Structure 1
């Protein structure tokens, strides 16, 4: 069981009453993703805001952000978990603004239809309480590895599906099974993968939560930190 997943899922107890157990995931899953992204971009937030003020063209902005931060995604909002709670009356609007100002490639919140949940949480007078709880969770990769983050996220999905009487296997493959698959995938290619300047592409046609892609990337970069790896995934379930 994921300790982090258990902690995040415990936040769902605050939703009891206005939300049914099978609805908890509509709030917990997108907020877990948002907090993870928030922690990742926090160190370079001011740099990105300065670049956004300088470059109006989104394509140019993306290039400049990538050069400055090394990341292909960004957020230009003046809000984050660090200051959202300072404006109690404007919390819902400010949170919506924060989500809207992610770069176009961060479209996950549209799939969750999360703005609808923001309004529902505000109406139930739960929004401030839930945001306060998530603010207390540090999900930066230096604190929570990609593997641990994947375990936590899949634990939450499993709990959510159990409440909805669905099968969690539709959404993820256990990490141990993925590690075995990755070892088999690279077994006969390890020597080739250590060559300088290699470029590889990896595609998962049933990506789920992306565990195969994440662990395959870790496996390759452990052998060759200078390797260039492009990851592609497809998933039927939005």
Structure 2
């Protein structure tokens, strides 16, 4: 029987990630997630169901134990965890069937989810019975019901696994993973509130959505009063986002699969649905985003201009702007190119001149924050309801150096092959945004007129001095040094002259 006692977060995470050791050698690191995540999800559903059964039995007796109205998920009797654990032969075949039956019993919540991970559990060349039995036995060690592991705790552990899998296979998974430190900055700046909607059009495993939930909870609010929406084109990543939100205890989140640019899934009244908060980390500078097919966009997203074929950045940005309601806020991770490339100058000009003053801030972050590339990124903050004191202005924040010039605050720490934003650095960036003040070599509030004078170039270095400061010169001290050097030079010259005279004397003597 699974152990039932309160696990610590660290112990739970360590236990779950050790399951990768069982797969090592049989499964490629990039595919660990496809085996471990659905099995973890299945175990959680089972343990919560068993927990609910015990509560129902105590309160109402045996008769209502399997009543669907009392359960979060329906769990087919034949395919409960304890029955699968008791199997020694054809475990994979039974597990395949278990996922099918579980999906059929919960179609609204689970349709397509287990299948999206693309695993044939009965493929004995990859997973011999011995390996699969070891994996099931490993997950059987602890009870993963709510009484032992809270949704927050398990959700955090799930995201820890995603991070670890990304570290194991950065090339394959890095593009889908946004460092949680970057997400923290976006969420804190946007400051989502209860009874509001949050949308991520390229949601990956759902990190921005789950961090929004955590943020509401930390503020003392009720995260159940947040309405979450996400879309992702990748089938497996979509399934990861679905399970992530479900493990966080958020079954009402709408996570859809599809191409956001060509097949946006959230629509209303013939146009795109609008939201209070939109946040994303879309693919940087997508080289072929399908411009030809969107020249006559039915959702009228490109009123500021159709982006160039070879750079899709503003296709996503314009989609996000249209997805904001009349008071909406938006935070998006971008490469620096869209801020200054000449090919997108007309779009920048139109957003600035015809966009009703929506650009609130541009924040430059350090290089090497991501697992799959080392280029520095920036955050673009858009607000359709800018406070009066910010109207007609844009704040540029430079936070790419390890230490800030004036305060000495450490923005990031260097790891073996990556940089990571510090909590102190995150707080400083958010505070700088909120204070809306100039700070030497860190922040500057710029008028729209100055941006016009710079021909709508939004390169941070045009507005904030990003050069290394020169050390101040103490004139008396330096003059003293110069005098000393001059004295040493005179002594050396005198010595050299003596040697020359001696050499000349010797030559004459000969």
TM-score norm. by structure 1 comes to 0.70
Secondary structure of the equivalent of 1:83? helix
Residue 166 of structure 1 deviates from its aligned partner by 1.4
Q: Any idea what the Cα deviations from partners look like across 1:68-108, whole Å, max 9, x if unmatched?
A: 33x3x433343222332223235334322321122112132
Answering whether residue 186 of structure 2 is matched by residue 184 of structure 1, we say no
Number of residues paired by the alignment?
Answer: 212
What are structure 2's unaligned runs of at least 5 residues? 1-8, 57-63, 236-510
Which of 123, 129, 134 is residue 129 of structure 1 equivalent to? 134
In 1, the alpha carbon distance for the partners of 2:129 and 2:224 equals: 49
Describe the shift of the 1:44–1:87 C-alpha distance in structure 2 as closer, same or farther (beyond 3 A). Answer: same
Checking the alignment, whether the CA contact within 8 Å between 1:205 and 1:233 is kept in structure 2 is yes
Tell me the residue number matched to 1:174. 179
Tell me the residue number matched to 2:226. 229
Secondary structure of the equivalent of 2:78? coil
Q: Which deviates more, 122-131 or 151-160? A: 151-160
User: Which structure carries more relative contact order (alpha carbon 8 Å, separation 6+)?
Assistant: 1
Checking the alignment, whether the CA contact within 8 Å between 2:26 and 2:127 is kept in structure 1 is no
Tell me the residue number matched to 2:27. 19
Which of 192, 212, 217 is residue 216 of structure 1 equivalent to? 212
In 2, the alpha carbon distance for the partners of 1:90 and 1:124 equals: 7
Describe the shift of the 1:44–1:11 C-alpha distance in structure 2 as closer, same or farther (beyond 3 A). Answer: same
Q: Which deviates more, 77-86 or 139-148? A: 139-148
In 2, the alpha carbon distance for the partners of 1:124 and 1:134 equals: 15
Greater fraction strand: 2
In 1, the alpha carbon distance for the partners of 2:27 and 2:172 equals: 21
Secondary structure of the equivalent of 2:51? helix
Describe the shift of the 1:75–1:185 C-alpha distance in structure 2 as closer, same or farther (beyond 3 A). Answer: farther
What are structure 1's unaligned runs of at least 5 residues? 52-64, 194-198
Describe the shift of the 1:216–1:41 C-alpha distance in structure 2 as closer, same or farther (beyond 3 A). Answer: farther
The CA RMSD over aligned residues, in Å, is 3.4
Checking the alignment, whether the CA contact within 8 Å between 1:22 and 1:164 is kept in structure 2 is yes
How does 1:1-238 map onto structure 2 within 5 Å?
3-44=11-52, 50-51=66-67, 65=68, 67-69=69-71, 71=72, 73-89=73-89, 91-102=91-102, 103-104=106-107, 105-106=109-110, 107-114=112-119, 116-120=120-124, 123=128, 125-166=130-171, 168-186=173-191, 193=194, 199-220=195-216, 223-225=220-222, 228-238=225-235
Q: Any idea what the Cα deviations from partners look like across 1:4-28, whole Å, max 9, x if unmatched?
A: 3332222222223433444433322
Describe the shift of the 1:172–1:145 C-alpha distance in structure 2 as closer, same or farther (beyond 3 A). Answer: farther
Q: Any idea what the Cα deviations from partners look like across 1:128-151, whole Å, max 9, x if unmatched?
A: 111010111333344444444344
Secondary structure of the equivalent of 2:227? strand
Tell me the residue number matched to 2:470. none
Greater fraction helix: 1
In 1, the alpha carbon distance for the partners of 2:53 and 2:122 equals: 23
In 2, the alpha carbon distance for the partners of 1:31 and 1:172 equals: 21
In 1, the alpha carbon distance for the partners of 2:48 and 2:184 equals: 25
Describe the shift of the 1:231–1:142 C-alpha distance in structure 2 as closer, same or farther (beyond 3 A). Answer: farther
Describe the shift of the 1:94–1:200 C-alpha distance in structure 2 as closer, same or farther (beyond 3 A). Answer: same
In 1, the alpha carbon distance for the partners of 2:10 and 2:178 equals: 15
In 2, the alpha carbon distance for the partners of 1:226 and 1:233 equals: 16
Describe the shift of the 1:40–1:207 C-alpha distance in structure 2 as closer, same or farther (beyond 3 A). Answer: farther
TM-score norm. by structure 2 comes to 0.36
Residue 109 of structure 1 deviates from its aligned partner by 0.9
